[in-house]
Amino acid sequence: MRHLFILRGFKVRWRMGQIILAHGDCDGVCAASIVLAARRDAKVVFTNPAGLLSELKSIEAGSIIILDVALTSKHKNEIISEFKRLSLKNEVIYLDHHPLPQGLNVNKLPVRTLKGVRGACASELAYTCFKNDLEPEMSRVAIYGAIGDYSDNTPGVRRLLEKWDKRELYLEAGILVAALEGVRRMDFDFKRSLVNYLSENKLPSADRNLVEMALREAERDEEMRRVVKSLVKTHGNVSYVVNVEWSLGKAATYARAYGETIIGVAADEHGEKIDLSIRSIGLRNLHRITSSVAEALGGLGGGHANAAGAMIPRGKLLDFVEMLNEKLA
Ligand SMILES: [Mn+2]
């Protein structure tokens, strides 16, 4: 619902109604689609952990639903005060599954959230939260999101899967994941139209353009894995690649695999910054290590126990790799 304000009799100003702030990966896109199906008037804005604070600051008022966007330890205090400011006027719902930065307690966040759902990705949380306003068959969109985030083995998703043949859904999720990996990260128009499409519960396989994108990405994966293999460098327990033009997450995974190390890093230099994906096996705290190293270098980062992301100043990549390796020891 949009509110119309008439100021001084002639000036007309629109104030924001409902805003969805979502991450742009498969889980974020699916979570946004689910919420949009329940809240048809909402406006969808894509953001990420580094951008969340400035998005919140730019909103004067409105009912806000945040999906799959981690809170960074660097901005945690400012984000909490934005949550407080915004929730004085309207409801703020925060649905996420990244570990909170140290010092924050999910029970004390000044927003509405879902508690006690261990391992559930943002799409599962969104489906659970908005279930009463959804067609039950929207559950498959929650399942695509869960597969995209490797989170389809939770009790909640297993229950949702009982109503489907999972093999059909894996094909649909696979198309979605591959198409999203293939699209530029900042192609928000494409992602917004995808959210509209999925919010109507239309199948990814029914959109030939999406299928084409997924097939092209599959071909590219086959080629880029070899590129990563030829470029990977190793320092102690950390392998890394720089500026391979591929999905950062996949590049990090294969850097780790081909470098035969515990951690893989993929870096993308642009302007004065470096975007990083970090992937590990068998760690419990990659998000913590990543955020402390990135912050020590003047950047920021976070994520999950074995998958994280960071942004650091240009020229600091070798320091980052060196410090990650030290933290492992
Ligand atoms: Mn997620």
Distance 98 CA to ligand 1 centre (A): 7
CATH 3.90.1640 residue window(s) in the chain? 3-211
Distance 306 CA to ligand 1 centre (A): 13
Position 5 scores a pLDDT of: 39
Identify the CATH number of the domain defined by range 232-328. 3.10.310.40
DSSP sequence for 216-277: HHHHHHHHHHHHHHHH-EEETTEEEEES-SS-HHHHHHHHHHHHTSSEEEEEEEETTEEEEE
Distance 24 CA to ligand 1 centre (A): 10
Residue 4 CA: distances (Å) to CA of 36, 60, 69, 91: 21, 14, 30, 19
At 35, which amino acid appears?
A: V
- pLDDT tens digits in sequence order for the chain, 329 residues long: 344 333 333 333 335 699 999 999 999 999 999 999 999 999 999 999 999 999 999 999 999 999 999 999 999 999 999 999 999 999 999 999 998 998 999 889 999 999 777 889 999 999 999 999 999 999 999 999 999 999 999 999 999 999 999 999 999 999 999 999 988 777 999 999 999 999 999 999 999 999 999 999 999 999 999 999 999 999 999 999 999 999 999 999 999 999 999 999 999 999 999 999 999 999 999 999 999 999 999 999 999 999 999 999 999 999 999 999 999 98
Distance 150 CA to ligand 1 centre (A): 9
Distance 3 CA to ligand 1 centre (A): 31
CATH 3.10.310.40 residue window(s) in the chain? 232-328
Distance 211 CA to ligand 1 centre (A): 23
Neighbours of 28 (CB within 10 A): 30
Distance 10 CA to ligand 1 centre (A): 45
Q: Scan for tokens 């009790």, then name that residue.
A: 155
Q: Scan for tokens 């390796």, then name that residue.
A: 325
Distance 97 CA to ligand 1 centre (A): 6
Position 179 scores a pLDDT of: 96
Task: Give the span between the Cα atoms of 184 and 21, in whole angstroms.
Answer: 18
Distance 305 CA to ligand 1 centre (A): 13
Position 13 scores a pLDDT of: 30
Identify any residues that bridge with 63 across adjacent strands, giving them in sequence order: 18
Distance 52 CA to ligand 1 centre (A): 15
Distance 68 CA to ligand 1 centre (A): 5
Distance 31 CA to ligand 1 centre (A): 9
Distance 7 CA to ligand 1 centre (A): 41
At 16, which amino acid appears?
A: M
Distance 12 CA to ligand 1 centre (A): 39
Position 115 scores a pLDDT of: 77
Task: Give the span between the Cα atoms of 158 and 138, in whole angstroms.
Answer: 15
Residue 245 CA: distances (Å) to CA of 123, 183, 184, 268, 277: 28, 12, 11, 8, 13
Rg (CA), the chain: 20
Identify the CATH number of the domain defined by range 3-211. 3.90.1640
First to last CA, the chain: 54
DSSP H helices, 39-184, are 52-58, 76-89, 122-130, 139-148, 155-161, 166-182
Distance 124 CA to ligand 1 centre (A): 10
